[in-house]
Amino acid sequence: MYTIYHDFTINVSKETIFEAISTPEGLNNWWTLRCSGAPALNEKYNLYFAEEYNWFAVISKFVANEAIEFKMTHAMAEWMPTSFGFKLEELKPNQTYVQFYHENWNEVSQEFRIASYCWANLLRQMKHYLEDGIITPFEQRN
């Protein structure tokens, strides 16, 4: 199995980041077009990007303000049975180290490579959203 990793620092509190990665409103501001779910262990999330990308996941790990993991339950074939998540470590007030991973890929396929690139761009956009209040319109995200 293969894993995508991205580690970076965001200059806000881990509580602020956790809200952006665990709540539907937070996810809609940098990733999904429309999202529903509740931030708690075993909760089901609908991750909607377009009609053909109407995906679902379950929260498989949850430690408030420290870690969250989403296990895909319905998505395109190559995303099954992957999980993605975040680990947060506050380095000092308003500076948080973020460890992102997307694991259990069956192979380093074209979709794996595209997903890695897209995650890097989306995570950069999340950083701009959290640090500068910039929300990239959904149509311009990649």
**Each residue's pLDDT tens digit, 121-142:** 999 999 999 999 999 999 998 7
pTM: 0.95
Tell how strand 44-50 and strand 53-63 pair up.
antiparallel
- CATH code: domain of residue 20: 3.30.530.20
Strand order in the sheet with 34-36: 2-10, 95-105, 83-92, 67-74, 53-63, 44-50, 34-36
Range of the domain at 119: 2-140
- Counting the structural domains of the chain, the total is 1
**Each residue's pLDDT tens digit, 31-74:** 999 999 999 999 999 999 999 999 999 999 999 999 999 999 99
